Amino acid sequence: MFVYPFYTVTEFEGVSALMMIIRPIRKDDFPALLEIAEESGHGFTSLPVNEELLTKKIARSEASFAKNVSQPEDEGYLFVIEDTQTKEVAGTAAIEAAVGLDDAFYHYHLSKVIHSSRTLHVYKAVDILTLCNDYTGATELCTLFLRDKYRKDGNGKLLSKMRFMFIKAHQQRFAETVLAEMRGISDDSGRSPFWQWLEEHFFCMDFPTADYLTGIGQKIFIAELMPKYPIYVNLLSKEAQAVIGQVHDKTRPAIELLKSEGFTFNGYVDIFDAGPTVEAKVGNIRTVRISEKRKVVIGHNSGGRQMMLSNDGLVEFRATLADLHVVLDSDEIVISQEIADALLLVAGDTLSIAAL
């Protein structure tokens, strides 16, 4: 689950001395990924603290990047953002190509039913939550986490938005609908008001345990124990009702960023903490619409707008951020040798750019 902001550019040939690079995760990133999983805390289902699972997650990502794909299937693409000066992995982000094809992908859908009686002149709209698998086959943005000291200057925006540039460059690998589950309300101990009500009436396990089991792929208990019929929201505790569709404070920047990209909330919430799920069609995502390809020219760029830059590679995918002067109505972009090297590009190659 997901976002924060990148670095202040000190001009020298159009690039900063500090550069943050996005790249696919590698096997030797395991220690950093384990630390990130430990730091992420409760509610971050996609990164459970489980060494075997994290090892498999990295191996699956490496296989996905190397795979020849004509349509989205069970691929998972995991990226890291690296400080090129210290070589420290500062955070991670991922894309699931098509959810729910192997394991059921559950949500509650918030809708209304009408109770009315013409005889008694009674008309009442009541909110209900219905268990569903409506997002089966959709592409999911997930596993977005940035370490505290890097949550500044646009790092989080780059880490989140570069996924849209990757999706645009490789559209055959992804579905038309893209979704993101946002972390819901829970306290520092992992207690979720929404789950507490479910636990009391249907389960005998706390929220961190249920969340962890889902993260390691043991989801059968959901089908076995989750209520099969719609839940009337007004029968929940007041505390549970209050958090439906609400995001965790640490996730608020993430949902605002996604809204600015064109994502909307259409009534789907997480089955554990009732956090909102937002969605968008690929063609409506802002970064997908505005990003454009330019031919690389190596030279001096005087700087200007803060731009996201990426190559169009798979295993060698790279993305970064820099202040660049962009000439309108041109098919070229001037970048420094340092940026070209970081993005594994040479003069004449194609580069994708988008304003941050």
Tokens representing 122 are 């009674």
Q: How many CB atoms lie within 10 A of CB 94?
A: 21
Please identify which residue in the block is written with the tokens 């509650």: 108
* Cα(105)–Cα(156) distance, integer angstroms: 27
- Which run of H or E residues covers position 331? none
Catalytic position from the list 109, 248, 300, 325: 248
* Cα(20)–Cα(162) distance, integer angstroms: 12
* Cα(325)–Cα(321) distance, integer angstroms: 13
CA nearest 217: which of 24, 16, 31, 50?
A: 50
Annotation says 248 is catalytic: yes
Tokens representing 148 are 């505290």
Beta-strand runs (E) in the chain: 20-24, 76-83, 89-96, 107-117, 122-132, 139-146, 177-181, 231-232, 264-269, 276-281, 292-298, 305-310, 319-324, 332-335, 350-355
Q: Using the 8-state DSSP alphabet, how is residue 188 labeled?
A: T
CA–chain centroid gap for 62, Å, is 18
Amino acid at 219: K
Contact 336, 15 (CB under 8 A): yes
Contact 130, 109 (CB under 8 A): yes
Q: How many CB atoms lie within 10 A of CB 244?
A: 23
Backbone angles phi, psi at 36, to 5 degrees: -65, -40
- Catalytic residue positions, numbered: 248
